Structure formats: structure tokens, C-alpha cells
Structure 1
């Protein structure tokens, strides 16, 4: 079982002055590394549009914790900064909406970060969900799945050949070079929950990235992923990463997953592992950075050490 932590402050709804965020990012990454986490990930948007759906499923009110005035840091710039202040921890996206950038630009971002980090880049990718963001970027929302597939085809060619051309339904270019080349195979985590997602994992990915799912849901999804995996004659087994908030607190509601005492949380993690989860990424219920750092250390001491 691997453990990761979410750097959610890249979407700065924390009330922290923007000029203080570089230090917050660096401290978070360094504490995560010192606490034994395997990977630190950050989300990705390019803009927050004025029209944001109010059925956001990851808040109690249905309203997202961001708006047009929320500072939004470029994920590749942030992770490049963190590569310079850490040594071993993997640095990843969770997740990039592939159609929001041209494949040549996105591949350049990825390859550059992988080389600058010494081969520590961990790539999470999905078609995306925020239609008004697509509209602002002039990318047809209804084409996002097929555009993601074409990007993944280009990404594979770029890694395998270094120099290539491409002709697809949405992207076309004559022979170009993709250098610097990554130092090794970059792990690709595919996000989403549709049938196309599971096919995409088997065709292009190394694993599945999901949010908040219960262990029973993970087990059911894994069966579907394995069916596609076998259809594509893939060797081995796919990784499965789950992102959930954690609350190490004996007074917390231990009927909720990953809340309560350390022993209760360890039992929940075992249930995830039995369901096929190979990586658990934790987030926190607090936006207080010092509390987050304390929780990272506590999670490392009391939970990661148990595995």
C-alpha cells in the first residue's frame, strides 16, 4: 500500500495571502516527505469561470469552495518548485483535464517536469468535468473523451519514439521532437467512472484514480477494470488510487470512513486494500496549514508506520 497527500492549497480558498503560498507549498511537501508519504499530488484547473455548477458533489452545500476570485496556481509550476525542495517523494497531478491543453504543450509540461524532478513525476489525467472552463478555453466539451484518447495516443508515441508526426480527428502535426525525454516510463493514472474510463485505463494507463469511493465500490469497479485489462491482453494488474479526507481524532464519528482513532483508520485502510486499492491519498477537513502539517506527521507516525 502506498500513501499520498493532496496539496489542495494550489486552489487558494484558504484565506492565505498569495505571496505566502510558495512557503506553504514547500513546507507541505517537505513534511509529507519526512512523514513517509510516497507521493504528493495537486489538482489542476486553468481558470475558474463565472458560471460554476452548484451541484458540486464534494461539499455539503453542493457549492464549490472556489469562485472567479480564487487564486489558482499552475500545477506544473508548483510541482517544479517542489521538485527543488524535496529529494525522493513522487510529485503528481490528480488530475489534469487533458483536453484543456494542446497535446504538444501538455506533453512538454510533463516531460520537462519529469526530467527536472529526477524522474519523480506521477501523471493523473482525465477528460475533465467543468463545462464552462472548456467554453472559456474554446474547447468543445462534448469532444473531451475523444480528445483525451488522442492525447494519450500522442503521449505514448512521444515516449516511445521521441520524434513523431500524428493525424487524428482533432489533432494533426508534422514530425516534431519530444525532448527532453523522460528518464523512464511515467506512471499514468486515469480518472473517471464511466465505461470509457475503464477502457482507457486498460488501453493507455497503469491505474485508476478515484475520489471518495467506498471499498465496496472500489471492488466493483476493479472487476470492470480487470475485464477491460484482459480484453487488451495487459500483463500484471492495474493500480487503484483512492482520494479521501482523513480525520485522526478519537472523538470523530468512527462510523465514517477514515475517521476516529488510528486503529479504526488502519482497519478502514485494510478494507480498501482488500478491495484492490494500492494507493490511498489523504486530504483533510481543515484548511489550517499548521493543523494539516500536524496531521501529516501524525498520519505518518501512527498509520503509515503500521504498513
Structure 2
């Protein structure tokens, strides 16, 4: 099982030293959240916190992953990077495929593409993209992005998108894993049917096991259970050796470690030195003992 460090919407100037520290400590990857904008007024509730509000996002700095990841890859050697998750459905598939392909090439395949729909109509309104049929749009976009990164001419005839055959150059030397986010049943089905993996928001170990089991059923239903599949999981269970064992047994292939609840709001008042200390402490107390226990 691998370990990812989640910077939880930190000040932009902290990304570089945190990435270096995470790599030096032994973390395998570094994850990024995504947000395009913050609307003055919103209509829908947020599904991943207790009160359903998104006030915690007001004034929080978000950098575009397609911009920040190449920089961080240039100052690290082995660290992988993952979006957790990018709001794919509010973007345009050919442009995303070009950005993603370029990113994978320039980082030497050190990127995993975590994707989601976005729970808020305001994101679609801001991007001038229809809110209706967003799930179908997401499905077609995954197929288009994957197809365009294959290196050959690729065309598409779908309900939402019609694309004449075209080719991107360059394309990555290895497929970019597409990790589907979301906890709702349609998202789990999408992960099993179209994804190379699944990426969770915070959940208990029991909840994660139930969702992974459901995804595995969908993988069997769509005859994809023979293919490699990743489960990237965020859980409080990951803060003990016993919890890590339970998560791996449940099917987690990578745990996402956040030292601050990304949904709690408030000021990020930890200093850079404190954050690096927590990175090193987690590595000393959990990553190294876990790997030693498993002979890794």
C-alpha cells in the first residue's frame, strides 16, 4: 500500500517545500484539490461535510493542477501527483486531453488523474456548461480523454459530444490512470465501469470497505475485474498501524494523509515548519514501521 500527502488547500508558497519534504520522508505521492471559483451565492448542499455548507472554501487559494504539478515535478525526483479530484465535467474534453497528455509527458508519467463531476450548478454556470446530463457528459469525457491519449487518430460519436477523428502529439508513454471520485452509487458504478481506480473523500474504514466492495461488484458486472485497479482512500483509520492493516485488507492501494480536515473551514494556522514536522512524524511512526512489517 502506498502513501499520499494531501496539502489540504495550503498557502501557494508552501507547495514546493511541502512536496520536497513529503518525498524526502518517503511519501509516494502528493494530492491536490480543485476549485475554479467561489460563487457569491450557492444553491446546493455540499455532500462531504456534516452541515452541507461550503463556507469553508470562501477565500481558500486553489492553484490549477495543470500549472502547479509540472513545477513540483521539476523540483522532485520520484514523487507522483494526483488530483483529488478535478471537476472534469465542467471542462472541455479535447482541451483537457491536451493538458493531461502534456502534463504526463513532462512529468515522465508521474501523474494520476482523479476526476469528479462537481456537486454545484454554479460551477457549470460559470463555465457555461449545461448542468443537465452532467453524468452522461462525465462518462463521455472519460472515454474521449482516454481515447485521445492513445496516440492514434480518435473520433467520437456520443449523445453529448461528436468529435471528428484527430490526433494529439505528444502522448504519454504509459496510460494515465483515471481515478473516479465520489461516494454516491452512480459514482461507484462509474468507477467500476470506466475508471482505472477510485478516489475517496473522508470516510470510516467500514464505509470504505462497503464502497470498495460495491465497486468490485460493478467491475465484475462490466467484465473489468481482471484489469489493474487502484483505490485511493482518505480515512482517520490511516493514523494507526492497525488501521492501515484494516484499510489494506479492505482493498485500499493508497492512503491519503491529511493532517487538517479539508472540510472544516477556518484559517490554516499551522506554520510550514509544523507541517513538515507532521510529515516527518507520520513517516517515522507509521510509514517506515508499516513497510518494515511488510518487508517493503
TM-score under structure 2 length normalisation: 0.87
Tell me whether 1:146 sits opposite 2:129 in the alignment: no
Note the 1:25-64 alignment, pairs <5 A. Answer: 25-52=15-42, 55-56=45-46, 57-58=48-49, 62-64=53-55
Name which of 216, 221, 235 aligns with 1:231: 221
Structure 1: give runs of 5+ residues left out of the alignment: 13-20, 247-256, 260-264
Rate the CA distance shift 1:204–1:54 in 2: closer, same or farther, 3 A: closer
Superposed, 1:1-307 pairs within 5 Å as: 1-9=1-9, 12=11, 21-22=12-13, 24-52=14-42, 55-56=45-46, 57-58=48-49, 62-67=53-58, 69-234=59-224, 235-236=226-227, 238-244=229-235, 257-258=237-238, 265-285=240-260, 287-288=269-270, 289-307=272-290
Contact 1:219 1:275 in 2 (8 A): yes
Distance in 1 between residues matched to 2:285 and 2:51, nearest whole Å: 29
- The structural deviation recorded for 1:160 is 2.9
Greater than 6 Å deviation, 4+ residue runs: none
2:4, 2:30 within 8 Å by CA — same for their partners in 1?
yes
How far does the alpha carbon of each residue in 1:185-229 deviate from its partner, in whole angstroms, 9 at most, with x for none? Answer: 111211012232222222221211111111111221122111111
Distance 2:238 2:175 in 1: 32
1:63 offset after TM fit, Å?
4.4
Residue deviations 1:113-158, cap 9 Å, x none? 1111111011101112122121111212232211110111112211
3-state SS in 1 of match to 2:246: helix
List gaps (5 residues or longer) in structure 2. Answer: 261-267, 291-296
Please say if residues 182 and 201 of structure 2, whose CA atoms lie closer than 8 Å, have aligned partners that are also in contact. Answer: no
- CA 1:221/1:72 → structure 2, altered by over 3 Å: closer, same or farther? closer
Separation of aligned partners in 1, 2:149 and 2:238: 38
Distance change (3 Å), C-alpha of 1:138 and 1:79 = same
- Measured against aligned partners, the alpha-carbon deviations of 1:63-101 in whole angstroms (never above 9, x if no partner) come to 43222x443321210111101111101111111111111
Question: Are the counterparts in 2 of residues 90 and 121 from structure 1 also a CA contact under 8 Å?
Answer: yes
Q: In structure 1, what is the equivalent of residue 264 of structure 2?
A: none
Within 2, Cα distance between the matches of 1:83 and 1:191? Answer: 23
**Secondary structure, aligned partner of 1:242:** strand
Paired position in structure 2 for 1:17: none
CA RMSD of aligned residues (A): 2.1
CA 1:104–1:61 in 2, change beyond 3 Å: closer, same or farther?
A: closer
Helix, strand or coil: the match of 1:111? helix
Q: Once the 2 structures are TM-superposed, how far is the Cα of residue 31 of structure 1 from its aligned partner?
A: 0.5
- The structure-2 alpha-carbon separation of the partners of 1:61 and 1:184, relative to structure 1 and needing over 3 Å to count, comes to closer
Mark the CA change 1:59 to 1:296 in structure 2 (over 3 Å): closer, same or farther.
farther
Structure having greater relative contact order (Cα 8 Å, sep ≥ 6):
2
Alpha-carbon distance, 1:49 to partner: 1.3
**Cα distance in structure 2, aligned partners of 1:52 and 1:290:** 36
| CA deviation map 1:26-52 (0-9, x unaligned) | 101110101111110101121111124
